[in-house]
């Protein structure tokens, strides 16, 4: 059956999903057929490719799968079937212009509506799982968005959420540029000692956070080619946070751009070091040994360089980007694990497939970038063995892209079909 002759039940399910209605419980199996399929674990393309879905999970995947009675066959033509993409660093509560007064001028209810729309845009771009790295002052509102998605009330990716990030007084996300007499709130939650860190972590988990995001460095500075950034938490403080999260089976991820903060984070055993603009040899060694992935976030830096408010600012951002590009190559050579995170929010949601393109442009092969996104990403989000591959027993998070992503990574920006948990959201 060709793609344009899919059944009425599939069309009705797609309509309900796109309108944000309750998910449709399917009883009939679905067979997806395409010219190609990505075997991400082995870094190869299978030709042709088929995936059999029963309910919310994959029953079979390969060149040819069985055809049970009553199966719906969806022929996706000259496309490549692959697992849904994973973005390990997003900000659903931010939008372009968010680096100015968004968090001051917009209410939390307004920002929550924006987050719901952002989640839908990301899903339609093929991102079926994401890690929300802080609401930037909207508290635990991301838990409500995650729960609404899980309940089928609105469309969006599977989410791991951190609530408000954790920061020190006068730190990276504190509102220190404003008149202190106005008492403008920080975009993160203050924690200045081990006791306060533990108290904040417990509060975040009480409000529904899946993990904790901490700001470990900032503000950054680049002067005469030299990059510097102050650390915010000592190794002992980060270690206390890691131990407290581990007590309940969760973890800490850090915003950390350079030394010595990145070293403290690696020594403490955090789950990921996000941005990772500059890493020392010792930090890279520890990350390799402990399998702590870097999440480079190239796209946000490219966007800021291209949309800077002044020539001076554009030159500064280009300098940071060039430094990051050089260091990324060192990290690859040192065997630092990589995950894919774009920092989408300050640039438009639904466009973050660009991150994989930039990682390839800066030294990875397409297969390495895909494995970083899908395999490392699934592990980082705590869904290893559930998502990130097309194999029997996994959740049916499947997309179709135009072209072969192992040869042209930009194929991930050409998504024509999106299924999450056996529900079709885009066709």
Per-residue pLDDT tens digits for 114-129: 999 999 999 999 999 9
Query: Phi/psi at 157 (nearest 5 deg)?
Result: -70, 165
Handedness of CA 50, 51, 54, 55 (dihedral sign): negative
Full set of structural domains in the chain with CATH:
3-84+389-426 (2.30.40.10), 85-380 (3.20.20.140)
The pTM for the full model equals 0.94
pLDDT at residue 15, rounded to an integer: 44
Peptide bond into 188 cis (omega under 30): no
Distance CA 322, CA 317 (A): 9
Dihedral angle, C-alpha 308, 312, 317, 320, nearest 10 °: 180
For residues 10 and 72, the answer to whether their CB atoms sit within 8 Å is: yes
pLDDT < 50 stretches in the chain = 1-9, 11-23
Rg (CA), the chain: 21
Contacts of residues 405-409 at CB distance under 8 Å and 24 or more positions apart, as own/partner, are 405/38, 405/80, 405/82, 405/366, 405/370, 406/38, 406/43, 406/44, 406/45, 406/366, 406/367, 406/370, 407/366, 408/366, 409/356, 409/357, 409/360, 409/366, 409/369, 409/370
For residues 244 and 227, the answer to whether their CB atoms sit within 8 Å is: no
Per-residue pLDDT tens digits for 181-212: 888 888 999 999 999 999 999 999 999 999 99
């Amino acid at each position: 059956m060709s793609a344009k002759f899919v059944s009425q039940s599939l069309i009705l399910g797609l309509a309900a999903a796109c309108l944000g209605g309750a998910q449709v419980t399917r009883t009939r199996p679905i067979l997806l057929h395409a010219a190609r399929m990505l075997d991400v674990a082995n870094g190869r393309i299978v030709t042709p490719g088929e995936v059999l879905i029963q309910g919310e999970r994959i029953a079979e995947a390969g060149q040819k799968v069985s055809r049970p009675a009553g199966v719906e066959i969806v022929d996706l033509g000259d496309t490549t079937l692959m697992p849904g993409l994973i973005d390990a660093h997003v900000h659903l509560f931010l939008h372009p212009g968010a680096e100015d007064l968004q968090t001051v001028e917009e209410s939390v209810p307004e920002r929550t509506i924006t987050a719901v729309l952002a989640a839908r845009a990301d899903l339609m771009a093929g991102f079926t799982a994401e890690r929300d790295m802080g609401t930037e002052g909207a508290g635990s509102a991301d838990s409500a968005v995650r729960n609404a998605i899980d309940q089928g009330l609105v469309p969006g990716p599977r989410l791991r959420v951190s609530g408000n990030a954790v920061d020190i007084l006068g730190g990276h996300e504190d509102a220190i540029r404003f008149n202190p007499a106005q008492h403008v709130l920080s975009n993160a939650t203050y924690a200045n000692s081990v006791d306060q860190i533990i108290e904040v972590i417990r509060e975040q988990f009480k409000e529904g956070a899946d993990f904790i995001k901490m700001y470990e460095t900032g503000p950054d500075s680049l002067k005469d080619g030299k990059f510097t950034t102050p650390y915010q938490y000592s190794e002992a403080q980060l270690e206390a946070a890691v131990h407290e999260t581990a007590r309940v089976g969760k973890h800490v991820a850090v915003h950390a751009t350079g030394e010595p903060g990145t070293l403290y984070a690696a020594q403490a055993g955090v789950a990921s070091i996000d941005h990772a603009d500059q890493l020392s040899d010792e930090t890279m060694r520890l990350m390799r040994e402990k399998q702590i992935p870097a999440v480079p976030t190239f796209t946000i830096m490219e966007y800021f360089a291209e949309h800077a408010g002044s020539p001076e600012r554009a030159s500064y951002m280009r300098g940071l980007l060039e430094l990051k590009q050089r260091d990324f190559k060192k990290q690859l050579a040192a065997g630092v694990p990589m995950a894919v995170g774009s920092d989408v929010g300050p640039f438009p949601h639904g466009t973050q497939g660009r991150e994989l393109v930039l990682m390839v442009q800066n030294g990875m092969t397409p297969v390495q970038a895909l494995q970083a996104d899908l395999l490392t990403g699934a592990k980082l989000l705590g869904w290893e063995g559930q998502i990130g591959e097309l194999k029997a027993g996994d959740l049916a998070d499947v997309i179709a892209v135009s072209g072969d992503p192992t040869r042209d990574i930009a194929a991930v920006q050409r998504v024509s079909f999106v299924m999450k948990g056996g529900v079709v959201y885009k066709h």
